[in-house]
Amino acid sequence: MYSPHMHSLNHCRHFVALTIATIILCACSSIQQQTKDEIPVIDNILTNKGSDTIVNLALAWAEAYHEVRPDVNISVTGGGSGTGIAAMINNTVDIANASRRMKDKEIANAKENGITPVEFVIASDGIAVIVHPDNPIDRLTMQQVADIFSGKINNWTEVGGEDRPIVRLSREVNSGTHVYFLEAVVRMGDKKDEALFSTSTLLLPSSEGITAEIAQNRNAIGYEGLGYVTDAVKTIALAVDDTRPYVSPTVETVMDSSYPVSRSLYMYTPGEPRGTTKDYLDWIFGPDAQAIVKSLGFVPLK
């Protein structure tokens, strides 16, 4: 039965419903606008991992590139060439740093994971053989260095020095510098040679650690990239053999190939780089990035 009271009640309910709907729509619109205004722009993030030799250079590059491209953040970590390459094989980094070339087995493992590594030479480096500044020895042949680190020579008198035992220092086995020095120096570049570092060799996790130990141990000998050499140690001039000239490790002698222990430094990507990764690598090959290479004691690309 119709009554004016019921009509008024229905009208009131209709008005309340419309009012609530309007409030909800306005609130949604406000939330959407607020969300649009308040959500920050997500930066491009590149992950870069690997060689401890390259890590300081990579950090300097990342900082300089952020000045050029503030929208790009580059995360740089070390851990050794093997660690970086393994991460690249597993497709968990954008760029792997390596102070040695990838091994055939590593390339095969990458392809099994559907990854085709792409190699970039980003700089060069000399490997300096270093001793305590008070050690009278200032030059050695490659064979003498090989014999020292393999354990055939154990006292400094055997190479014209003082009657002191030789303390050998090396990077750890996961280091690309360790692998390169083993192959190029201890094994003298002979792929059939199976010589190893002497079992008495002390393995240290960083080039800084080798420098620190040699700076306080007159009996010690070690090796490290040019970019890590400090005044706290003395570099040894090397000769291919005793009929050749002895050459000290410098940027210039690495560039003209007169120093016998030099190598390329690498970056690897899991496939052809694109987008931000490609832009970053293009910048690395440019003059600003290569100037940083030289400023840190490494050898820029020719």
Going through 152-280 in order, the beta strands assigned E by DSSP cover: 167-171, 202-204, 220-225, 234-235, 237-239, 262-270
Answer yes or no: are the C-beta atoms of 125 and 99 closer than 8 Å: yes
Look at residue 37 and give its three-state secondary structure.
helix
Tokens of 102: 């990838």
- Specify the CATH number for 125-262; select among 3.40.190.10, 3.40.50.410, 3.40.47.10, 3.50.50.60: 3.40.190.10
The mean pLDDT of 110-134, rounded to a whole number, is 97
Q: On the CB side of 122, how many CA atoms lie within 13 Å of its CA?
A: 31
Q: Which residues contact 179 (CB under 8 A, 6 or more apart)?
A: 81, 100, 173
Look at residue 120 and give its three-state secondary structure.
strand
Give the orientation angle of helix 52-68 with respect to helix 287-295, to 10 degrees.
Answer: 140
pLDDT-derived band at 211, boundaries 50, 70, 90: very high
Higher pLDDT, 29 or 276: 276
Q: Which of 166, 205, 215 is nearest to 55 (CA)?
A: 205
Q: Is the pLDDT reported for residue 14 higher than 50?
A: no
pLDDT at 276: 96
Question: What whole-number distance in Å separates Cα of residue 265 and Cα of residue 11?
Answer: 80
Q: Which residues contact 145 (CB under 8 A, 6 or more apart)?
A: 129, 185, 236, 238
The mean pLDDT of 121-132, rounded to a whole number, is 97
Answer yes or no: are the C-beta atoms of 282 and 46 closer than 8 Å: no
Q: Which of 269, 280, 227 is nearest to 249 (CA)?
A: 227
Which part of the chain is CATH 3.40.190.10? 44-124+264-295, 125-262
pLDDT at 302: 78
Question: What whole-number distance in Å separates Cα of residue 36 and Cα of residue 226?
Answer: 50
pLDDT at 43: 52
CATH topology of domain 44-124+264-295: D-Maltodextrin-Binding Protein; domain 2 (3.40.190)
The per-residue pLDDT for range 225-239, each reduced to its tens digit, is: 998 999 999 999 999
Place of tokens 């050459």: 247
The per-residue pLDDT for range 242-251, each reduced to its tens digit, is: 999 999 999 9
Question: What whole-number distance in Å separates Cα of residue 20 and Cα of residue 131?
Answer: 82
pTM of the prediction?
0.80
The mean pLDDT of 264-287, rounded to a whole number, is 97
Look at residue 189 and give its three-state secondary structure.
coil
pLDDT at 42: 44
pLDDT at 31: 39
Task: Tell me the CA distances in angstroms from 65 to 70, 103, 211, 257, 300, one per residue in order.
Answer: 8, 30, 30, 30, 17
The mean pLDDT of 123-141, rounded to a whole number, is 97
Torsion, Cα 185 188 191 196, to 10 degrees, reads -50
DSSP code string of 47-106: EEEE-HHHHHHHHHHHHHHHHH-TTEEEEEEEE-HHHHHHHHHTT--SEEEESSPPPHHH
Look at residue 126 and give its three-state secondary structure.
strand
Tokens of 242: 């005793």
Find the range with the poorest average confidence among 30-39, 55-64, 71-80, 127-136: 30-39
Higher pLDDT, 264 or 39: 264
